[in-house]
Amino acid sequence: MVLTDPDRIWVEAAARLRSEIGDGPFSSYIAPSAVRMDGAGQLVVVTPTGYARDWVRKNALRRLNELWLGLDGLARRLDVRCRADMPGITPSVIAAQVAEAPAVRAVPAPTVGPVADGARAVRAAGLQERLTFDGFVEGHGNAFALAVARQVASWADGHFNPVVFCGPYGYGKTHLLNAIAWEAQRLRPDARVIYLTAERFLSSFMRAMQDRQMAAFKDQLRTADMLLIDDVQFVGNKAATQEELLSTLTSLLEDGRRVVMSADRAPMALSEMEPRLRSHLSAGLTCPIEAGDRALKLAVARNRLQTLAALGVVSGAAPEPVLEQLVDQTPGTMRELEGAVNTVAAAAGARLPGLTVDEVRALLGAAFRGGPERRITVDEIQKTVADHFNLKQADLLSDRRNRAVARPRQIAMYLCKQHTTRSYPDIGRRFGGRDHTTVLHGVRKVGELMVQDDQIARDVETLTRKLRG
């Protein structure tokens, strides 16, 4: 149903809210309220008292906006004020209107508004407007995950359920879940698509228990056509919420509804979860997302700069050596890379095409090496690399030249140059008295191999995460 008259929308939205929050809170705070338009054209829920206003703002305004956006053909948004803030407003007859309103429809209004609703729908649903398929950069480590995500969003029949995207933080899991929600709702505007972070699932569950509204909480989730939960690992170690999640998951799967989740590990590796829940999560499709290689990071940096150029933050394109330096100096996650791009863009502005490698190095500085409070030492790098490749630290300092030792030694030298302020001669001395040209060759070699060899790129990425804690 699409409406434009505020009074009719208010009656419908309030009727739906009443079934969720119960008669007690509804009669105390919602029934005596009215929806009016202020002098600036803003729709306002007018409550009888300041206390009621504060209660509505804290406990009901977000959900009211979700319901309102699903009904309002003009996609307007509600604010809340008390009657003292808006003189001349008479008491509402909403209680009688809602009592006479038809029962809530079997298919509730979408939790995620159609994409056409724009930023209002984003705020109401908790999604991020920019996290769509159009903004997702495809690469070697995420191509399969992207293909699966598009398939899920298309509502195609005959595919795996549930789907769990898993992998290290900062490489696109949240982006894919947001993109699925947006696209699924665009293709089926009448569907009920619910996106929740694990934190929001937990807080909603606890609030429902405290307010004795578990029936409404269960109904809200189990009537979803598609349920997406981000970072589900955070539900672990909480028996009651795990039990509820398992019951919800079972109910949705039995009804043929879609379930999509993300986690930092594969479901069977979520040891903090009870076995039945792990088993249900593993029964569908586990879709890994790998850490991005250098080529993907370069593409992400270019894409981010193009976005900033469209917003007028920068002008022109960055030289290729500048992009390479930016990526090489930011060996962490895609989120950290995006932060580095933002830093460079904000400083460069219209000077972006003329920016030099030295300027980028100076701009990023220690901020992307962990700062002075987290100094990484040559000794720490050697120990971490040796452990990663099942070697002894002494092997890296030895004269052994076979590839099983020489390549890890070069990687350790590369990491020393990236994460410490040591010079090439100094690094050489710390690696058994080697000449600085040997270190220079090793650092350059690893830089070249990271472009050509995915395994080398993954090794460097993993070691970097270990060193940065």
Confidence bin at 87 (pLDDT 50/70/90): low
| Across 146-166, average pLDDT | 87
Confidence bin at 108 (pLDDT 50/70/90): very low
The whole-chain average pLDDT of the chain stands at 79
pLDDT at 4: 59
Query: Amino acid identity of 259?
Result: V
Cα 338 from Cα 371, distance rounded (Å): 18
Nearest to 38 by CA among 85, 92, 97: 85
117 or 270, which is more confident? 270
pLDDT at 58: 83
Confidence bin at 119 (pLDDT 50/70/90): very low
| pLDDT of 122 higher than 50 | no
Confidence bin at 124 (pLDDT 50/70/90): very low
Q: For the chain, what percent of residues have pLDDT higher than 90?
A: 13
Q: Biggest alpha carbon distance in the chain?
A: 89
Give the C-alpha distances (Å, rounded to integers) separating 465 from 180, 218, 331, 333, 381. Answer: 28, 39, 8, 9, 12
Write the pLDDT tens digit of every residue in 196-252: 888 788 888 888 888 888 888 888 888 889 999 998 888 876 778 888 888 888 888
| Across 386-414, average pLDDT | 91
pLDDT at 105: 34
| pLDDT of 360 higher than 50 | yes
Write the pLDDT tens digit of every residue in 301-345: 888 888 888 777 778 888 888 888 888 877 667 777 888 888 888
Write the pLDDT tens digit of every residue in 13-67: 888 888 777 766 777 678 888 888 887 778 888 887 776 787 888 888 888 888 8
| Across 95-109, average pLDDT | 37
pLDDT at 88: 54
Q: For the chain, what percent of residues have pLDDT higher than 70?
A: 86
**pTM higher than 0.85 for the full model?**
no
pLDDT at 2: 46
Write the pLDDT tens digit of every residue in 411-451: 999 999 888 878 888 899 899 889 888 998 998 888 878 76
Residue 195: HSE in the Cβ half-sphere, 13 Å Cα cutoff: 26
Confidence bin at 396 (pLDDT 50/70/90): very high
pLDDT at 217: 83
pLDDT at 110: 33
| pLDDT of 107 higher than 80 | no
Confidence bin at 259 (pLDDT 50/70/90): very high
